[in-house]
Structure formats: structure tokens, C-alpha cells
Structure 1
Amino acid sequence: MLTAILSGFLFAIFLVFAGKIFKGKFAVLTALLPLGLFLYFTQFLSDVANGKVITKTIEWVPSFGASLSFTLDGLSLLFSLMITGIGFLVFAYTAAYLKRHTYLDRFYGYLSVFMAAMLGLVLSDNLITLFVFWELTSISSFFLIGFNNTNPASRKSALTALGVTGLGGMFLLAAALLLGNISGTYSIAEMLTMKEAIGGSEYYWLAVVLLFGAAFTKSAQFPFHFWLPGAMKAPTPVSTYLHSATMVKAGVYLLMRFTPVLGGQDIWNTTLIAVGGVTMLYSAFHSVFRTDLKGILAYSTISALGILVFLTGLGTSEAFLAAAIFIVVHALYKATLFLVTGVVDLQSGTRDTTVLSGLNKVMLPVGIAGFLAAISSAGIPPSIGFLGKELTYEATMHAGGLTILLVVAIVLTKILLLWAGFVAGIKPFTGKLPEKFSEVKMPSVLMWVPPVLLALLGIIFGAFPAIIEAPLIKPVVKALGGDAGEQHLALWHGFNMVFVLSLITIGVGTLLYFILKPSSRKEDAMARLDFIAPENLMWKFNRAFSWFSNLWTNIFQNGYLRNYVAIIILFMVVLVGYTLLISSKMVIDYSSLAEVTAYEIAIMLIMLLSILFTVFTDSRLAAVAAMGIVGLAICAIFVFYSAPDLAMTQFSIDTLTVILFVLVLYRLPKYLKLSDYKMRIRDGVLSLLFGALITLLALEVLSEPANSDIADFYAKNAYLMAHGKNVVNVILVDFRGTDTMLEISVLAIAAIGVFGLLKLRLKTSDRVK
């Protein structure tokens, strides 16, 4: 499994050096990678169907509890097959859609990294590695969404998506660390055995809230949904791959994966039902007011994700079965509709549903694919969408409390989604062909075969559900903690209330399609409410936060080093001083301190006079010399207390510092003009407070009883483990090793930045004169 994941990253690296090979007629060969991975995962279908869970563990960073642990069960296998199967079709489709694009190899590189990251995410059993892959999906999707980087709208959409999903990544990291602290492990499989312990923890609710934050932002749940419609600025293959089958379902996957661990409690189930219900109805309603094909599909996608979250929240075996089927349903029909939209856009030059019609006359296979996807979206038999809709209704009717309200919400959502599916899949191809589209031609075979294949699968799986029941659907229910043993997939479940609701949905939705036409006027009317939309509220908050940040920066970071130091010291004095004042444990044992000797008093007087001279002199060189005297006095103290090595170090550093200061100040004016006495008084008071604080801390430390455990450890093991006879040197090397490594990393990053600036070649028009 690790090789399968790494293959995507390795292929992306290979494209850096050999990308030109795949820019022309050989571009379609890139599809062999996801095809090979799809075939690899299909070999596990029989094992998973028989209840087997395939695991693989490779130690990564044991000290941090991070390991490359992968698990293949029903849930991860379903997602892996979607990622690689639809990925294969998207890779092939891209070869024609972006034919001879200047950066086609770069696009394939981004797509490969994203595919590998998604595979790592759904296969990971370790929460830390899951987080790493989670962030890689956000980063790679940023590059994919912003692929048309010359377009300001694309750049803005990419930044918005990265900002929202990146925020979710922070939530996920916090949730992972908290769950690891509660359970003592980062293994999801081990957490499954600790459900009661985790659920009984006082931090359970916090872990759930953090996990919700990650899932809701990634899967575009209200009010974090706005990034997904904006991401439609990306090329159609990106919309197909990321926003129908893979990335946006990562949040749903996370919720499903942790349902057996965190589910079953009110905060989990109620929140998912509420958020999913609001999202599905809100987004389905919004899709009716869109005229752009991608806009309609974007909002219907958000609604579908809301349905999945809603079903996960119901928490019953029936709901899990409906969710498993609907994942397949949505992936098939939505990927088809996106691919069809890409063909329509590329061949006709528009995605405006108010002008598109009659395209069946010039691209019949594409129209057939759109029609089949539309009836699957509507839940019309014999499509698999009908089966998914009936199971969803059945699970909702058995939800328990507020059943009527939930049933009404899901039926209304399905009616509106039927309208959206018909408008996206049927309207552009029916009716009279406008004269301006009469010259439209059939696209490349690579562009119409993938949507036709996906649409046909939606019909085949619906007519013969047994094909996917045992190897795919039931293992998912089992992985979610449900029991699907007595349930069987079939198109006909008898004439019952569920069937009546299906008839109502199809009848009312079809009637709505013929009555309610896409209109720019309705879209403009809806746009008047944008001032209260979550996206605009987010941007208003962003502008307010930016204003506050500028104000804060101008006050506290105004470019003067002395102000920075003063603020840091003041903060430390207030924080530590307050802690000492409220602490009742601070006791200074003066009897344990040695008596003050005459030579110590003399040294202190020399230091005090030197400091006063430094503060009040007008001569720069005199101030430097006085500071040198302070350093030499410190050397004397080290000598008095039998630390000649420290005294020599201090002497060397102090002497060098004085010399450097003199050299630096040589060309500056000899005398200082310090007219701001208020600032000098402020700094003096702050210095005295800081000095008093350090004195109190030192006295308290000296009063604490000595603990020699650490000293004894180093004394015993310095030579045996570190091969050093000098204990002090061993301690320095031991601690400084990691510190030095980090410093080297910082310098390396800085060097890369400097190298980039040195290699920068600006155009004449871009240079600032």
C-alpha cells in the first residue's frame, strides 16, 4: 500500500524531468498510473467482502507515536477505488481537454500528487500521518484550483479554498493530538477498542468539536461551503476529480471513520443531523438560482455532501447503508455531469443554461451521458440513484425524533436536486439548436467516452445491485459499526410509504423542471442578499482583522528595535510578576545564602558605577568602555566562584564585543544627543523592574532544595553513552545537537530565498524605479 501511495509522488517528480514527453500525443499514457492502481485495489475486493482487514505498518517517528500504518477495510477500499477509477478517466479526459497546453505536464504533476495524498488519507490508520496527507490534499488542490494563475479570480479562489481547508487542517491536528492524549495512541484501530474510555473523557466534547471543524471545512458544510463554488474557476478535470469524488468527500470520510469511535452520543449525532440538514436544503435551494452549469453542479455537490453528513448523523445501520450507496451514486452521476459540462463549455464556448439547448443534434453521445446521469441524480429507476434515494428515505423515516421534519427536509432537497440534475444533464441537449451552435462538433473520443462509461455504470449498478452489494457496500456498513447482514439491495421494495415519497419527488421535481426555467433575473435577485452570505461575512471579517493587524503592527512593531525589546521585557515582567504575586508558595530562605564578602561588595560597586556612567555619559566610546568594565567585573565574579572556564569565555567575548563596537562606532558622531528624557526614564524603570524580577527568581531558585538526579545521571552516563569525559561538554553537545540542526535548517531556507532573489530576472516593466 505504501508503494501505491508513493507512486503518485514519484510520478510527479518524474514529470519534472520528463514532462515534455507527456505534452503531446503521449499525454494519455499518464492514465496508466491510476489505472494500474485501480487494478491493484480491485484484487482486495474478495478479501474485504469476506470480512478481512488488510493492514501494513512501517515505523516512522516512534518517539512521536507516528508510524506509516495503513488499513484497507470496506470504507477505505471504496474510497480508494473511487480515487483511482475516476482518476483514470479524468487523466485520460485531461489529455484531450488540455491538449497542447503549455503546462500540461505541470497539471498532471499536481493531479498525481493530489491522487497520492488522497490515497494516503483514506488508507492511513495513524492520525499523524492522516493529518500529513490531509494537508497535502489542501496544498495540491490549491495548485489545481489556481492552475489558471493569470486569472485573478482563479488565484482568489485558490487562496480562499486553501484558507478554509487550511483552517480545518489546524482543527484536525488539534483533534489528533487531543485524541492521542486521551487514548494514549494515534492508531485509529486501537481507538476503536477504547470507545467507552474516549467517550467518558472530560475532553470528549472538545475532540468532537475540533474534528467537526476539520470535516465541515473540507466537505464544504454550512457556513464553510462558499469556497467550493469559487473553486469552479479551476479547469473541468479539477472540478470533476476534486469536487465530486475525492477531496470534498475527505471530510465525510473522516466523520465516517470516527463514527465507531466518537459516535452514538447526542453531541455527535445531533450536530451532524443539524449541520447536514441545513447544508443539504440551503445548497439545493441555491442551485435553483444559478445559470452557470458549474455553479449549479457546485451547489448540488454541497447539498449531496450535506446528505452524507446527515445520514452519518442518523447513526443507524439503515443510514450507513444509504450513505454507502449514495457515495457511489454521487460519484458516478456528478463526475459524469462535470465531464459533460467540460465538453459543452469547450465545444460551445459557454456554460450559460439560459442559452444552451439542442446540442443532442451535434453531440449525441455526450447528451446520452448527460441524460443517464440526470435520471440517476433524480433517482429514477433503473438507475442506482433510485436505490440510493429509497434507502435515504427509509433511513430518515426511522430516525426517531422529529421524523416528519427530517422527512420533509430530505424530500424537498431531493426535489431541488432533481431540478438541478435535469438542468445540467438534459436542458443543454434538448430543444431547438440555436444557429450559433450549429457549427459545434463532436469532441475527441477521450472526452465523451469517460462520461458515457460513468453514466452507464450508474444504470448497470442500479439494475444489478448485487454486483456491488457484497464486495463494496456491506463492508462499508461494517466498517462504520453497522450491521447490513439482513439487508439486501434491490430496486423494488414493494408499494410502501418510501415508494410514495419517491413518486412525489419524481413528479414534483419534473413539474418544477418544466415550470421553473434558469433565469439571470432570479440569479440577480438572489445576489442582492449576498451582503448576509457567509462568504461576504468572511471577507468583511478578513478586512476588519487586516485593519486591526495593521493598527497593532504600527503600534508594537514600528521598526525600532528598542521598542521591541521594551515590549518583550514589559510583557515578561507583567506575566511573571503577576504569577509570583498570586503564588503563595514563593518562600526565600535567606539563611541558606552565603554571607556577602567585602570583595563582592567592591565588584558590585564597580559594576554599579560603570552602569550609571554608561547611562548618563554623552560619549559613545566612553559608554562602550564602561560596558567593557561591567563585563570584566562579571569575569571577576566567575573567578571568585571557581569557574575559570566561564571567566575566560566571558573575557574573550567581552573584549571582542568592545573592539567590534569601537570599530562600528568609529565613523559615527562622537557624542550622543539624547533629548527624550521621558523615554530614558521609561527604560530605566523597566530595567529596574526586570532586574528585580530576575533577582527574586534567582533567590527563589537558590532556596529550593537541590535535586541531583539529573546531575547523577549525566555523571554516570556521560562517558558510557556519549563517550565524553567532560560532563559540561556532553550536556552542551546533547542539547545543542537538535538546536544546531534547526539553526542549519533555518539558514538553508534563508539561503534558498537568497538564491531565488539572486536568480530573479525582472522584466523592465516590472522593475520599481
Structure 2
Amino acid sequence: MLTAILLGFLFALFLVFTGKFFRGKLAVLSALIPAGLFAYFASFISKISAGEIITKTYEWVPAFGVNLSFKLDGLSLLFSLMITGIGFLVFSYTASYLKGHKYLDRFYGYLSVFMAAMLGLVLSNNIISLFVFWELTSISSFFLIGFNNDSAASRKSALTALGITGLGGFFLLSGVLLLGSMTGTYNITEMLSMQEAIAGSEYYILAASLFFVAAFTKSAQFPFHFWLPAAMKAPTPVSTYLHSATMVKAGVYLLMRFTPILGDHPFWNNTLIIVGGITMVYTAIHSLFRTDLKGILAYSTISALGILVFLIGLGTKAAFLAAAVFIMVHALYKATLFLVAGIIDHQAGTRDVTKLAGLRKVMMPVAIAGFLAAISSAGIPPTIGFLGKELTYEASLNFGTGTIIIVIAIVLTKIFLLWAGFAAGIKPFMGKLPEAQKETKMPGLLMWFPPIILAVLSILFGIFPSLIESAIVKPMVFALGADASEDHLALWHGFNTVLLLSAVTIGVGLLLYFLVRPSNKLEQKVAKLEFISPRSIMEKGNYYFVIFSRFWTNVFQNGYLRNYVTSIILFLVILVGYILFGHQRLVIDHSQLAEITAYELVVALILVAGVLYTVFTKSRLAAVAAMGVVGLSICLIFVFYSAPDLAMTQFSIDTLTVILFVLVLYRLPKYLSLSDYKMRLRDGVLSLALGTIICVLALQVLAEPANNEIGDFYAKNAYLLAHGKNVVNVILVDFRGTDTLIEISVLAIAAIGVFGLLKLRLKSTDRTQ
């Protein structure tokens, strides 16, 4: 499985050197990568349907429990097949859609990286590696959405998508680390046996909330949904692949994967029902007020994602079965409609549904694909969409609490989705061909054949649901923690309430389609309410956050080193002072203090005099010399207390520091320019406060019981393990060798930089700039 994942990354790297060969007729060969991967994952169908779960683990950072661990079960198999199968069609479609584009090879590289990242995400059995691939999908989608980087709208859409999904990534990382600390493992399979312990943890609500934010941002749930319609600025292959079948379902996948771990809890189920319910109804209604084909499809996509979240929230076997089928339903019909919309835009030059009609006369195969996808989205038999709708209604009716509200919400959503599917898949092909589209031509085979395949599959799986029942659907339901072995998929379930609801949905939906036509006036009326939309509210929040950030930067990051040092010291004084004086009882063991000798007192007085002279002198060189006196006084104190090694180190450093200061300062003015009285008073008070805190802290440490375990370890093992008698040297060179090496490297780099600045000779013109 690791090879399958790496193949996409390797192909993207391969394109860096051979990309020019994939900009012409050879571009279609790129589709061989997802085609091969689809065949590879399809070979596991028989094993997975038989109940087998395939796992593979590669050590990555075993000391922290982080490994490249992969798991192929019913859930990951379905997503892998969608990622590679639809990926194959999108790769093929792109060869014609972006034919002749100068950056076609780059586009294929982005697609390959995204495909590999999605495969890694759905196959990961370790939550750390899952997070890594999660972020890779966000990064690669940023480049795909902003592919037309000469467009300001595309760049803004890409940044918006990255900002929202990146925010979700931050919350996912927090949730992953919290869940790992709660369970003591990062392995998803091992967590399955800890559901009761996790649900009973005091951190359960926090962990679930973090996963919710991650899933809701990725799958465009209310109120984070607005990034998805904005992402429609991307080329149609991106919209088809990312925004209908794969990336936006990553949040749904996350919820499904962790339902057996975090689910079956009122907070989990109720939150998903509420958020999914609001999203599916709100965005389905919004699709009525759009005139852009991709805009209609974007809002209907968000609504469909809301249905999936809603079904996961119901948490019953019937709901999981409906979700498993509806994932396939939506992937097939929505990918078809996006591809059809791309063909219309490419051939007719517009996506404005109010200007499109009669295109069946010039592109009949595309019209057939659009029609089949539309009736599947409407849930009209014999499509698989009808089967998915029936299962959704059945799950809603059998839920129990709040059944009436739930059924009304889902029926309304399905009615609006019928309108959206017909408006995008049927309306552009019906009626009389306008004069503006008289020159529209039939696209090439590579453009119209992929949507035909997907549309035919919607019919095929509807007529013969047994093709997917045992192979895909039931294993996926089992992966969600339910047993659907006794359930069977069929188009006909007899005359019942579910069939009545389906009939009402189709009847009212068709009536709505004929009564409400896409209109620019309706879109403009809705635009007047944009100021209260989640997008506007978040943009205003972002605006004020930028203002606050600018204020914060100007105050605390203003370029003055003295202000940085003052802020750090002030924070340290407040924090440590609160802990020492306000949070715990201050204890000083006077018996640990030795008597002050005469020579210690003399050295201390010299040290204080050196400090005072440094502070109040007006000569830079005199201040440096006085600092040298302070350093030498400290050396003597080290000698008094039997630390000659520290004394020699202090002496060497202090001497070198004085010499360097003199070399640097001798070209500066002879006298110091003293700061104002208030600033000096502030610095003096702060310095005294810090000194007092450090002194009290040192005395407090003496009163604490000593733990010599670490010291004893080094003393016993210094000679045995490192063959050195000087314990300090052994610690620095052997036990902490890597740390010391890094410190030396930093010092060496700094020295090179200083040397370069000292040797810098600027031209007279450069000095004035």
C-alpha cells in the first residue's frame, strides 16, 4: 500500500523532469497511473467482502508511536476506489479540457500529489500520519484551486480554501494529540477497543469538538461552507475531482472512521444531526438562487455533504447503510454533472444557465449523460439515486426522537436537490438553441466519454444493486461498527411510507422546477442579504483581526531590541513572581545558608560598585571595563565555592566579551547618549525586580529536597559508557553530543555572519540607499 501511495508523488516528481512530453498527445498517458491503482485496489474486493482486513506497518518514529501504518477495510476500500476510479476519468478528461495549456504537466503534477495524499489519508491507520496526509490534501488543493494564478479571483479563492481548511488542520492536530494522550496510542485499530473509556473521559467533549471543527471545515459544513462555492474558480477537472468526489468527503471520511471510537454518544450524534441538518437545508435552498452552473452544483454538493453528516449523526445501522450507498450515488452523479458543466463552458463559452438551451442538438452524448445524472440526483428509478433516497428516508423514519422534523428537513432537501440536478443537467439541453450557441461544436471523445461512463454506472448499479451490495456497501457498514449482513439492496420495497415520500419528493420537485427558473433577479435579491452571511461575518472578523495584529506588531514587535528584552523580563517577573508569592507558601531554609566571610563581602561590594559604575558612567569604554570587573568578581565567587572549572569558563568568556566590545565600540562616539529619566527608572525597577525574583528562587530551591537520581546516573556511567573521568565534559560531548553539536553549529554560523559584516565594504551609492 505504501508503494501505491508513493506512486502519485513519484509521478509528480517525474513530471518535473519530463513534463514537456506530457503537454501534447502524450498527456492522456497520465491516466494510466490512477487506472493502475484502481485495478490494484479492485483486486482486494473479494478479500474485503469476505470480512478480511488488510494492514501493513512501516516504522517511522517508533519511539513516539508514530508509524506509517495502513489499513484497508470496507470504508477505506470504497474511498480508494472512488479516488482512483474517478481520478482515471478526470485525468483522461483533462487531456482534452486543457489541451495545449502551457502548464498542463504542472496541473497533472498537482493532481497526482493530491491523489496520493487522499489515498494516504483514507488508508492511514495511524492518526499522526493521517494528519500529515490531511494537510497535504489542503496544500495540493491550494495549488489546484489557484491554478489560474493570473486571475485575482482564483488566487483569493485558493487562499480562502487554504485558510479555512488550514484552520481545520490545526484543530485536527490538537484533537489527534489529545486523543493520543487519552488512549496512550496513535493506532486507530487499537483505539476501537477503548470506546467506553474515551466516552467516559473528562476530555471527551473537547476531543470530539476538535474533530468536529476539522471535519466541518474540510467538508464545507455550515458556517464554514462558503469556501467551496468560491473554489469554483478552479478548472472543471479540479471541481469534479476535489469538490464532488474526494477532498470535500475527507471530512465525512474522518467522521466515519472515528464514529466507532467517538460515536454512540449524545454529544457526537446530536451535534452531527444539527450541523448536518442545517447545512443540507440551508445550502439546498441557496442553490435555487444561482445562475452559474458550477455555483448550482457547488451548493448542491454542500447540501449532499450535509446529508452524509446528518446520516452519520443518526448513528443507526439503517443510517450507515444509507450513507454508504449515498456516498456512491453522489460521487457518480455529481462528478458527471461537473464534467458536463465543464464541457458546456469549454464548448459554449458560458456557464450562465439563463443563457443556455437546446445544446442537445449539437452534443447529444453530453445531454444523455446530463439527463441520467439529473434523474439519479432526483432519486428517480431505476437509478441508484432512487435507492439512496429510499434508504435515507427509511433511516429518518426509524430514528425515533424528532422524526417529524427530521423527515421534513430531509424531504425539503431532496426536493431542492432535484431542482438543482435538473437545472444543471437538463435545462441547458432543452428548448431552442440560441443564436449565440449556433457555433457550438461536439467535444472530443476524451471529454464526453468520462461523464457517459459515470452516468451509465448510476443506472447499472440501480438496476443491479447486487453488484455493489456485498462487494462494497456491506463491508463499509461493517467498518462503521454495524452488521448489515441481513440487509439487501433492492429498487422495490413495496407500497409503504418511504415510497410515498419518494413520490411526494419527485412530484413537488418537478413542480418547483417548472415554476422556478434560474434568474439573475433572484440572485441579486439574495445578494442583498450577503452582509449577514457567514462569509461576510468571517471576512469582517478577519478585517478586525488584521487591525489588531497590526496594532500588536507595532507595540510589541517594533524593531527595538530594548523593548523586546523589557517585555520578556516583565513577563518572567509577573509569572514567576505570581508562582512564588501568590500561588504557594514561600519557604527559605536558613540552615542551608553559610556564613558570609570577609573576602566574600569585599568581592560582593566590588561587584556592586562595578554594576553601579556601569549604569551611571557616560563613557562606553568605561562601562565595558566596569562590566569586566563584574565578570571577574563572579569568577572569584566561583573559586570561593570550589568551582574552578566554572571560574575558568567565566574568565575566558568575560575576557573575550570585553575585547569584542572594545573592538566594536571604539569607532562609536566617546560618550553615551543617556535616555530619559523615566525610562531609566523603569529599567532600574524592572532589573531590581528580576534580581529579587532570581535570588528568592535560588533560596527556594535550597529548601526543596534534592533528587540526585540524574546526577548519580551520570557519575556512575560517565567512565563506563563514555570512558571519561570529567563528568561535565562527558555530558556535553557524549550524553548531549547532538545538542552540543547544534550549539557549536549555531555559533559557527553566527561567527561567519559577524565576520562577513566586519569585512563588508559598501559602495558609496549603496550606503545612501
TM range (shorter): over 0.9
The residue that corresponds to 1:304 in the other structure is 304
Question: What SS does the corresponding residue of 1:354 show, helix, strand or coil?
Answer: helix
The residue that corresponds to 2:405 in the other structure is 405
Q: CA–CA distance in 1 between the matches of 2:310 and 2:47?
A: 30
The residue that corresponds to 2:564 in the other structure is 564
Q: State the TM-score, normalized to the length of structure 1.
A: 0.96
The Cα of 1:718 is off from its aligned counterpart by 2.6
Structure 1 stretch displaced more, 100-109 or 324-333: 100-109
Structure 1 stretch displaced more, 165-174 or 379-388: 165-174
Q: CA–CA distance in 2 between the matches of 1:62 and 1:504?
A: 57
Question: What SS does the corresponding residue of 1:181 show, helix, strand or coil?
Answer: helix
The Cα of 1:14 is off from its aligned counterpart by 1.1
* CA deviation profile, 1:312-353 (whole Å, cap 9, x unmatched): 000111000000000000000000011111111011110000
The residue that corresponds to 2:50 in the other structure is 50
Does the aligned pair in 1 maintain the 2:145–2:158 contact within 8 Å? Answer: yes
The Cα of 1:642 is off from its aligned counterpart by 2.4
The Cα of 1:717 is off from its aligned counterpart by 2.3
Question: What SS does the corresponding residue of 1:68 show, helix, strand or coil?
Answer: strand
* CA deviation profile, 1:151-200 (whole Å, cap 9, x unmatched): 11111111111111111111111111111111111111111111111111
* CA deviation profile, 1:100-124 (whole Å, cap 9, x unmatched): 2111111111111111110011001
Question: What SS does the corresponding residue of 1:26 show, helix, strand or coil?
Answer: helix
The Cα of 1:730 is off from its aligned counterpart by 2.8
The Cα of 1:659 is off from its aligned counterpart by 1.6
Q: CA–CA distance in 2 between the matches of 1:133 and 1:748?
A: 36
The residue that corresponds to 1:575 in the other structure is 575
* CA deviation profile, 1:48-73 (whole Å, cap 9, x unmatched): 10110001111111111101111100
Q: CA–CA distance in 2 between the matches of 1:292 and 1:742?
A: 57
Q: CA–CA distance in 2 between the matches of 1:742 and 1:134?
A: 32
The residue that corresponds to 1:192 in the other structure is 192
Question: What SS does the corresponding residue of 1:141 show, helix, strand or coil?
Answer: helix
The Cα of 1:706 is off from its aligned counterpart by 2.0
The Cα of 1:747 is off from its aligned counterpart by 11
Structure 1, unmatched stretches of 5+, are 751-768
Structure 1 stretch displaced more, 229-238 or 722-731: 722-731
The Cα of 1:74 is off from its aligned counterpart by 0.3
Q: Quick one: structure 1 residues 648 and 221, their matched pair in 2 at CA, closer, same or farther if it must change by over 3 Å?
A: same
Q: CA–CA distance in 1 between the matches of 2:749 and 2:67?
A: 27
AA of the residue aligned to 1:177: L
The residue that corresponds to 1:537 in the other structure is 537
Give the 5 Å matches for 1:474-623.
Answer: 474-623=474-623
AA of the residue aligned to 1:168: G
Q: CA–CA distance in 2 between the matches of 1:219 and 1:95?
A: 28
The Cα of 1:147 is off from its aligned counterpart by 0.9
Question: What SS does the corresponding residue of 1:288 show, helix, strand or coil?
Answer: helix
Give the 5 Å matches for 1:612-651.
Answer: 612-651=612-651
Q: State the TM-score, normalized to the length of structure 2.
A: 0.96
Give the 5 Å matches for 1:100-499.
Answer: 100-499=100-499
The Cα of 1:649 is off from its aligned counterpart by 1.9
Q: Quick one: structure 1 residues 739 and 295, their matched pair in 2 at CA, closer, same or farther if it must change by over 3 Å?
A: farther
The Cα of 1:33 is off from its aligned counterpart by 0.5
Q: Quick one: structure 1 residues 741 and 592, their matched pair in 2 at CA, closer, same or farther if it must change by over 3 Å?
A: closer
Q: CA–CA distance in 1 between the matches of 2:115 and 2:183?
A: 31
* CA deviation profile, 1:444-471 (whole Å, cap 9, x unmatched): 2111100100000000000100000001
Q: Is 1:694 aligned with 2:732?
A: no
Q: CA–CA distance in 1 between the matches of 2:157 and 2:742?
A: 34
The Cα of 1:671 is off from its aligned counterpart by 0.6
The Cα of 1:597 is off from its aligned counterpart by 1.3
Q: CA–CA distance in 1 between the matches of 2:71 and 2:162?
A: 28
Does the aligned pair in 1 maintain the 2:732–2:740 contact within 8 Å? Answer: no
* CA deviation profile, 1:568-616 (whole Å, cap 9, x unmatched): 1011101110111123343110111121111111111111111111111
Give the share of equivalent positions with the same residue, in percent: 74
Q: Quick one: structure 1 residues 576 and 71, their matched pair in 2 at CA, closer, same or farther if it must change by over 3 Å?
A: same
Q: Quick one: structure 1 residues 668 and 749, their matched pair in 2 at CA, closer, same or farther if it must change by over 3 Å?
A: closer
Structure 2, unmatched stretches of 5+, are 751-768
Q: CA–CA distance in 2 between the matches of 1:371 and 1:684?
A: 81
Question: What SS does the corresponding residue of 2:52 show, helix, strand or coil?
Answer: coil
The residue that corresponds to 2:713 in the other structure is 713
Say what the alpha-carbon RMSD is for the aligned residues.
1.7
The residue that corresponds to 2:17 in the other structure is 17
Q: CA–CA distance in 1 between the matches of 2:486 and 2:742?
A: 58
Q: CA–CA distance in 2 between the matches of 1:359 and 1:383?
A: 24
The Cα of 1:742 is off from its aligned counterpart by 6.7
The Cα of 1:743 is off from its aligned counterpart by 6.9
Q: Quick one: structure 1 residues 736 and 535, their matched pair in 2 at CA, closer, same or farther if it must change by over 3 Å?
A: farther
The residue that corresponds to 2:75 in the other structure is 75
Does the aligned pair in 1 maintain the 2:290–2:523 contact within 8 Å? Answer: yes
Question: What SS does the corresponding residue of 2:67 show, helix, strand or coil?
Answer: strand
AA of the residue aligned to 1:91: F
Structure 1 stretch displaced more, 371-380 or 551-560: 551-560
Q: Quick one: structure 1 residues 158 and 725, their matched pair in 2 at CA, closer, same or farther if it must change by over 3 Å?
A: farther
The residue that corresponds to 1:34 in the other structure is 34
Question: What SS does the corresponding residue of 2:440 show, helix, strand or coil?
Answer: coil
Q: CA–CA distance in 1 between the matches of 2:424 and 2:734?
A: 65
Structure 1 stretch displaced more, 147-156 or 289-298: 147-156
Aligned length: 751
The residue that corresponds to 2:766 in the other structure is none
AA of the residue aligned to 1:459: I
Give the 5 Å matches for 1:743-758.
Answer: none
The Cα of 1:630 is off from its aligned counterpart by 0.8
Q: Quick one: structure 1 residues 741 and 49, their matched pair in 2 at CA, closer, same or farther if it must change by over 3 Å?
A: farther
